Structure 1
Amino acid sequence: MTKIDAGTSARRGLAWRLLPVVLLALVAAAFFASGLHRYLTFEALRAHRGGLLAWVDAHAVLAALVFVAVYAAGIVLLPPSGTLMTLTGGFVFGAAAGTGLVVVGATAGATALFLVARFALGDCLRKRAGAGIQRMRAGFCENELSYMLVLRLVPLFPFWLVNLAPAFLGVRLRTFVLGTFFGIIPGTAVFAVFGAGLGSILDANRELSLAGVLTPEIVGALVGLALLALAPVVYKKIKARAA
């Protein structure tokens, strides 16, 4: 193969890898151009509360499927909407069902972003990574499920960042899905329970405040779960040193 043919092949490969990113950008542009993002606000929920609850009561199964699809799309196209959609899930479907639907939708949306990032840029960035990044990647992958659970349990980093970073660190798809699904359950349940009581805020026409959701006690509980998830990592290190 000549240098020209190799260059052409490389450009085609890059264009093919970037295709999901381009498609995602086009979908995002259409989403914002249509004005659909205006419905993912607390004001829209307040304005359409009655109609939304009536429609959910009349079409329970369809409403659940639509909610999961909208949540997944929101995670991909409008990441900051996740908190409000979680509250809405608890408000519309109740704390238990809302938690389940949110976890499914959030995992689906997060997985879509993870796959796009890994397919489009993962291999390219890993090849250009320095020795320090390669060592971090190796350490992360050695205990990837534990680290994924910690990243999901403790709300230290934005949800979208935790969707993208594992793609560049070589985390397996199965591990990413399992770590996301189980890791977001506790935090999701907290916000869904808060959302189940959202009716009183709407009835009183008060502004939504999330200041009291992640209390020190709840944060402490999440940190405790994260430390428990790290237990296998600590055990491996102690066993290795003893050997």
Structure 2
Amino acid sequence: MTDMTDAPRNPILKKLPLIIIGIVALLGAFFLRDYLTFEALAENREALIGFRDDNYLVTVLVFIAAYVVIVAFSLPGATIATLTGGFLFATFPGALFNVLGATIGATAIFLAARWGFGESLGKKLEGSDGTVKKIKDGIDENQWSMLFLIRLVPAVPFFLANLIPSFLEVPLYRFVVSTFIGIIPGTVVYTSVGAGLGEVFARGETPNLGIIFEPQIIFPIIGLCVLAALPILLKAIRGKKGL
């Protein structure tokens, strides 16, 4: 009796977290697009600073919780949230609060995706043949390097970097560690931009969000990407030499 009643429900129940995330993401994109913006931050900056000065610990906890929700439900405004972290808390500890919120939110969507269909997809890939199996094996052999690469490369959307590992049977601790460490460089850059928003507001300007692509910023990040990819390159070279 138990098997007959539970079996049809399991597929839906397993996908329920992802369904909820998808619905909330769509609603958030429609209803919150005018609130999680730079203009909204500029208009409410004095109220935010006043609340922070009167309730610092509460502000920290609310901010981290809000960042978790934004990332976990793929809501618009992650960049604004990072800038806000710098604006309210300076580059440090603002960067730490940003990284914590982003990591917790990313872990939530990673677990939801894995529970929904990542585990079954991983098993299918493992049992496949030919090119697909070779790609899966190659990623498995270089998981740390691949995880750090998708976090460090600015061109990889954050939500994709959260979903891809869930399909490839990446252990939870590897995902959490690589996310926390891998997002630090970019987060520090944008948090520092947020820390300087007071002057930007005073001039009536908008922040330069393309700063991460400027030479003094992007070259060190490229260097970190090369370091992350080095083990993969060395394995490829050794494989060609038959070592």
Q: TM-score, normalised by structure 2?
A: 0.87
State the distance in 2 between where 1:54 and 1:30 align. Answer: 30
* Partner of residue 77 from structure 1, selected from 50, 73, 86: 73
Structure 1 position 117, deviation (Å): 0.7
Tell me the residue number matched to 1:52. Answer: 48
Structure 1 segments unaligned to the other structure (5+ residues): none
Q: CA RMSD in A?
A: 2.4
* Partner of residue 94 from structure 1, selected from 85, 90, 96: 90
- Number of paired residues? 238
Q: Comparing 16-25 with 220-229, which one deviates more in the overlay? A: 16-25
Tell me the residue number matched to 1:15. Answer: 12
Distance 1:144 1:48, change over 3 A: same
SS of match in other structure, 2:117: helix
Tell me the residue number matched to 2:179. Answer: 180
State the distance in 1 between where 2:19 and 2:99 align. Answer: 27
State the distance in 2 between where 1:82 and 1:190 align. Answer: 14
State the distance in 2 between where 1:63 and 1:48 align. Answer: 14
Once the two structures are superposed, residues 167-193 of structure 1 have per-residue CA deviations (whole angstroms, 9 ceiling, x without a partner) of 111211111111100000011111111
Q: Comparing 232-241 with 18-27, which one deviates more in the overlay? A: 232-241
Tell me the residue number matched to 2:114. Answer: 118
Structure 2 segments unaligned to the other structure (5+ residues): none
Contact 2:36 2:76 in 1 (8 A): no
State the distance in 2 between where 1:25 and 1:230 align. Answer: 33
Aligned-residue identity in percent: 39
Structure 1 position 51, deviation (Å): 0.7
Tell me the residue number matched to 1:133. Answer: 132
1:105 aligns with 2:101: yes
Once the two structures are superposed, residues 141-164 of structure 1 have per-residue CA deviations (whole angstroms, 9 ceiling, x without a partner) of 211111111111111210101100
Q: Comparing 165-174 with 202-211, which one deviates more in the overlay? A: 202-211
Structure 1 position 93, deviation (Å): 0.3
Contact 1:194 1:213 in 2 (8 A): no
Tell me the residue number matched to 2:36. Answer: 40
State the distance in 2 between where 1:48 and 1:124 align. Answer: 46
Q: Comparing 140-149 with 8-17, which one deviates more in the overlay? A: 8-17
State the distance in 2 between where 1:221 and 1:15 align. Answer: 45
Tell me the residue number matched to 1:61. Answer: 57
Once the two structures are superposed, residues 54-77 of structure 1 have per-residue CA deviations (whole angstroms, 9 ceiling, x without a partner) of 111111111111111101111122
Q: Comparing 233-242 with 160-169, which one deviates more in the overlay? A: 233-242
Structure 1 position 85, deviation (Å): 0.9
* Partner of residue 24 from structure 1, selected from 18, 21, 31: 21
